[in-house]
Amino acid sequence: MSIHEYVSKGAPESAHWIGVVTDTPNSTQARLAASGLEWEVEKTIIGLEMLFLVRLPEPSSEGFLSLGPEVLHAIRDGHGAVIERPTSFLDAISLSQGKSLDEATAATFANTDARAVEGALENMPEGPVRELVRVYLESISVVQSQHGIRGNGERTLKFISHFWELGDAGVTERFLQVLPKITGRGAASGGLERSAKQRPQFEARLSALECRVRLRR
Amino acid sequence: MHEKREAGKMRAPVGEIEAYWVELPDGVCPDDAEVRAECAGVVVHRSNPRQPLFRTDVPVEGATIENATTFTTVEQLVSGHAKVRACPAVLNEVEIAAEDCMRETSAQAVAAAFERALRNQQISREDYKCAALYLTAFAEVQSKQPCSDSPEDTRALLMKFWQLGDMSAGEAYRERIARRRHVPTLDWIAEAEREG
């Protein structure tokens, strides 16, 4: 059973909570806000690291021990969807009317297919679903930036929608798997157009992402 | 806007584990539960004063069914059904003065003596707060079921029942008094005839 199916059963009267330690609190908070799970911020540990407390959507009298890690991986790491695919929301994104975004506030990297989707996302109603989609886009744009994958956003939007259940990190990992085929077809014809200023940041993120993929294999 | 994503930082840092937390059990006073947790060294999350959360040492990843006893232990601790710290021997050394005995119940007399000992730094704040929970439970019993236990008797029973936790100690004390009040009067003649 997925997390959103547990959540849809309604909050149990008594339940256990789990501590979630993260150094990506914005993404974690976006997942939590959309999930429908009950949660609280316990504290900032050091720097960006934060401890969230999340109530498990299963009564404490039931077998919740397997649910704890599942919720942890979805909320902390983005492995597993926290809500059912928001089909109507994704379908309503109009890629032809995307806005130009401020680099300082954009979640995605410039000159990526995901950036085109994020630009279009600005026309969608504000709310937790929009922010969750942004997390999906942010994750996949790291890889796209490294490999110069640009476009009008259509393929990224379809890819995210199709693999939604994997969670944002899961979608990106799936994207990494097909990357050789994508770049082999010349999709990366634009080359690596990132600026020298961006390089250290996204290379660190890419290597971290690739390291996570290796760790999970 | 971009958040750092580094594989090496995905695990909890030293000193902060991704653990299970338990809710306040039904019917337990939040303030008392927090005192017990503080005395037992259990970490409390207090953002909602009516619903504090208590950290266990059961990790989210790798927990097994055997860890269920840890959840029960923490719940018993914060509910007052298990001792939260060793019984402080120093409580036996506190003098119960005549002025303390002016209180309504013997338990309140002992509490007054302990309070003075706290002011005189004879006992620690944690010991006092913990003992006060027991004495509150005893005082409640004594006010409802008047008994002949002196302050010294009450202190002796406090030490005796300490290991049960304050709520269980209060229940044990209530049962003890109830038993004492229901000892049937011996019929001397019937007993004598039975012996004869």
Shortest Cα distance from A86 to chain B (angstroms)?
24
- Where does residue A28 rank: exposed (0-12), middle (13-18), buried (19+ CB within 10 A)? buried
Give how many domains chain B has, as a whole number: 2
Residue B47 lies in a domain: yes
Asked if the structure places residue B196 within a domain, the reply is: no
For residues B68 and B106, membership in a common domain is answered with: no
Does residue B157 share a domain with residue B121?
Answer: yes
A17 Cβ contact partners less than 8 Å away, ≥ 6 residues apart: A53, A54, A55, A56, B20, B21, B22, B23, B53
How much is the pTM?
A: 0.79
Q: Does B3 touch chain A (CB under 8 A)?
A: yes
Read off the pLDDT of each residue in B26-41 and give the average, rounded to a whole number: 94
Choose the final residue of a domain: B79, B99, B114: B79
Question: What whole-number distance in Å separates Cα of residue A67 and Cα of residue A208?
Answer: 26
Last residue of a domain, one of B26, B55, B79: B79
Residue among B3, B13, B22 whose CB faces A16 most closely: B22
Q: What is the pLDDT of residue A206?
A: 54
The CA distance from A85 to B33, in Å, is: 42
Is residue B45 in some structural domain?
yes
Of the residues B19, B44, B79, the one at which a domain ends: B79
In a domain, B2, yes or no: no
Q: Do B4 and A48 touch (CB under 8 A)?
A: yes
* Nearest of B105, B157, B126, B152 to residue B35 by alpha carbon: B126
How many CB pairs (< 8 A) connect A and B? 106
Query: CB count, 10 Å around CB of A46?
Result: 10
Average pLDDT for runs of 10 along chain A of length 217:
87 90 93 95 75 90 84 96 97 92 92 96 96 97 94 96 97 95 60 39 54 49
Q: In what order do the strands lie in the sheet with A15-22?
A: A39-44, A50-59, A15-22, B19-23, B53-59, B44-45
* Nearest chain A Cα distance for residue B32, angstroms: 19
Count of positions (residues) in chain A: 217
Does B195 fall in a domain?
no
Complex ipTM over 0.95: no
Q: Verify whether the Cβ–Cβ distance A18 to B19 is below 8 Å.
A: yes
| Residue at B188 is within a domain | no
Mutation for A interface: B4, B5, B24, most A CBs within 10 A: B5
Report yes or no on B101 lying in a domain. Answer: yes
Same domain for B172 and B101: yes
**What is the largest distance, in Å, between two alpha-carbon atoms of chain B?**
98
Q: Residues B87-93: contacts with CB within 8 Å, 24+ apart?
A: B87/B159, B87/B162, B87/B163, B88/B123, B88/B124, B88/B127, B88/B131, B90/B122, B90/B123, B90/B127, B91/B123, B91/B127, B91/B131, B91/B155, B91/B158, B91/B159, B92/B155, B92/B159, B93/B122
pLDDT 10s digits, B133-172: 999 999 999 998 878 899 999 999 999 999 999 999 999 9
> Does B50 contact chain A (CB < 8 Å)?
no
For A64, the 3-state DSSP assignment is coil
Which residue range(s) make up the domain with B153? 89-181
Question: Does B101 lie in the same domain as B171?
Answer: yes
Please tell me whether residues B146 and B164 are part of one structural domain. yes
Cα(B96)–Cα(B57) distance, rounded to whole angstroms?
40
